[in-house]
Amino acid sequence: MELKQISNTRWACQASMLWTVCKRFMLLYELLSDVIENDSNSDRVIEARGLLYQFSPDFIKTLFALRHIFEFTKNTSDLLQSPELDYSDALELLEVLQERLNDCRTDAKSLEPSCQRLSQFRNA
């Protein structure tokens, strides 16, 4: 398995990549743990350890928060690229995006239960 470097992907692809990593987070954690315990290739074991070490609770919270933010911004970006969009609709889309992002700031606690559950794997 190879993970793409974030700098090697387009902005629009990053939302998809974040969604996939979040969806498959448990599987990814188990895979890295399995590589550490069972793989005979020392380079792979070292790389898996390095990746697993980075799964701190703060990283996990940030990952899931960014997934939501990227979903909002990607949807808006896709709509803004429509050739039929006029300026008033574009302005309205941006205002809606701003409201959604502000809601995320005030409702950040809604992400905490899933983040806490996932962050327990770091301590396992």
For residue 101, give the H/E element and its range: helix 87-106
> Tokens 């629009």 correspond to what residue?
12
Domain-located, residue 1: no
pTM of the model: 0.61
pLDDT category of residue 3 using cuts at 50, 70 and 90: low
pLDDT digits (tens, 9 = 90+) for 29-86: 999 999 999 999 999 999 999 999 988 888 888 888 888 888 888 888 888 888 888 8
pLDDT category of residue 10 using cuts at 50, 70 and 90: low
* Structural domain boundaries enclosing 21: 11-120
Q: What's the domain count of the chain?
A: 1
Domain-located, residue 69: yes
Q: Please name which of 87, 68, 80 lies closest in space to residue 19, comparing C-alpha atoms.
A: 68
With 80 as the cut, is the pLDDT of residue 124 above it?
no
